[in-house]
Amino acid sequence: MPPSHPFDDDKLKEECGVFGVIGVADAANFVALGMHALQHRGQEAGGIVAHDPAFGFSSARRFGYVRDNFTKASLMETLPGALSIGHVRYSTAGSKGNTQIRDVQPFFGEFSMGGAAIAHNGNITNADALRKELIGRGSIFQSSSDSECIIHLMARSLQTNIPERMKDALRRVEGAFSVVAMTRTKLIGVRDPMGVRPLVLGRLGQGWVLSSETCGLDIIGAEFVREVAPGEMVVISEKEGVQSFHPFERAQPRFCIFEHVYFSRPDSILGGRSVYETRRQIGVELAKESPVEADLVCPVPDSGTPAAIGFSQQSGIPFAMGIVRNQYMGRTFIEPTEQIRNMGVRLKLNVNRALIKDKRVILVDDSVVRGTTSRKIKEMILDAGAAEVHFRIASPPTAWPCFYGVDTPQRDKLLAATMSEEEMRDHLAVDSLKFISLDGLYRAVGETKGRNAACPQYCDACFSGEYPVAPRDMIAKGFELKAAE
């Protein structure tokens, strides 16, 4: 397993990406490519399950990058068949550094009607309660993952086929889930009733594809068909094509708004909107809300770049790459010694001194979580001779943890949970600090009237503290929800 990167701990992390293919020869090879396109959603481990009528089910699970594992012919030849699913993983805060190979998805189970594998993106907020119940009834868990609950719930269902057993299982589950699963003959995709996490359907020749994002379709030349709807289950077979079911009670959709801000790749399409264009528009709104006199608009690469472009276009202040990212500073770099750690972000980012010297600089970043990286970047800019440093943040203050599939620090570790905007400015020691408003963010994603406070159009709990599904397990551990206003 590659060492945890010492300079990436100040960003929120999406925990998983899922991908599946049916009806295409050597499907696992296409799944590996799709996983590579979704690598930004999870870099710690990946797994593939495939099925071939002659050889049955086969699987491979590995720590590290897709490119380092699933590009080897000797491995991919062990995954034959025209049906395959895959998963890329980033461990949660509680298990980071303790990941075991048994925790790597997809999970596989053998049922009376045949085997099934399942890959899950999201987080089950009642997993502790379910696990306790299932263990009490005789289930034996092999991993620490909340996703394994689904397999055990399926095993205890009395339904006569696997899709129906999956419906039974997922009706017991609370929280967020986008699931890609497979039987011997079917590829299955499901989204939770609120559609918190993304899942799309594509066509590849005579075959079909499921992916967390459209960028996964692009890499294999698949045609985007549509998004899997919130609360929908699609069951795909080579003979019957795509069948659609709605096994859950309908709910108000609450897609994760942070997918637009940071998680999804900028070349993906979400809800019919270009992620890149949305992020550029966030910069436009930010410039309208929080203008400042300056000489340069510089992104904190790479996630701040589209918003910085929008800020520059709206403000008329020149855009410049004042910070350059070392593209070869990956997670498999040398084991960091204390001396290396003390070099801070300089191993990953370097200031373009010729541009920065004596300039008033606006730095545009996607978020401030703990604030540790922001302080280091500010120091680098000042060391390069900048006259002023102004931070503009392309999301509202992150003041609440996410329980729906995002690795978030505990609330007392979030800078915005303990400080006002002015206190954060003083803490970071910058000339000014401004976040986009929640209404401004909603306008940027296409809601022209801003946020509907009575019935928000997105899940924005990390900003607002309003959780669309109560995190039952965390409440049982003492987590206090936001008091009603």
Amino acid occupying residue 370? R
Contact 207, 22 (CB under 8 A): yes
Amino acid occupying residue 295? D
**Distance, CA of 428 to CA of 411 (rounded, Å):** 19
The residue to which tokens 């910069």 are assigned: 283
Contact 201, 234 (CB under 8 A): yes
Contact 30, 187 (CB under 8 A): no
* SS3 assignment, position 315: helix
Which residues, other chains included, contact 320 with Cβ-Cβ below 8 Å and sequence gap of 6+? 296, 297, 298, 352, 355
Contact 27, 57 (CB under 8 A): no
**Distance, CA of 4 to CA of 95 (rounded, Å):** 12
Neighbours of 78 (CB within 10 A): 14
CA dihedral 37, 39, 45, 50 (to 10 degrees): -20
Question: Is 459 in the active site?
Answer: no
Beta bridge partners of 82: none
**Planar angle of CA 277, 275, 279, nearest 5 degrees:** 55
212: tokens are 């967390």
The residue to which tokens 């899997």 are assigned: 228
**Distance, CA of 130 to CA of 412 (rounded, Å):** 28
CA end-to-end distance (rounded Å), the chain: 46
**Distance, CA of 72 to CA of 51 (rounded, Å):** 19
Range list of β-strands (E), 126-222: 175-182, 186-191, 200-204, 207-211
Looking at 16, 256, 459, 462, which residue is catalytic? 16
Following DSSP, what letter does each residue of 245-281 receive, concatenated?
E--S------EETHIIIIIS-TTSEETTEEHHHHHHH
**Planar angle of CA 200, 206, 209, nearest 5 degrees:** 20
Annotated catalytic sites, by residue?
16
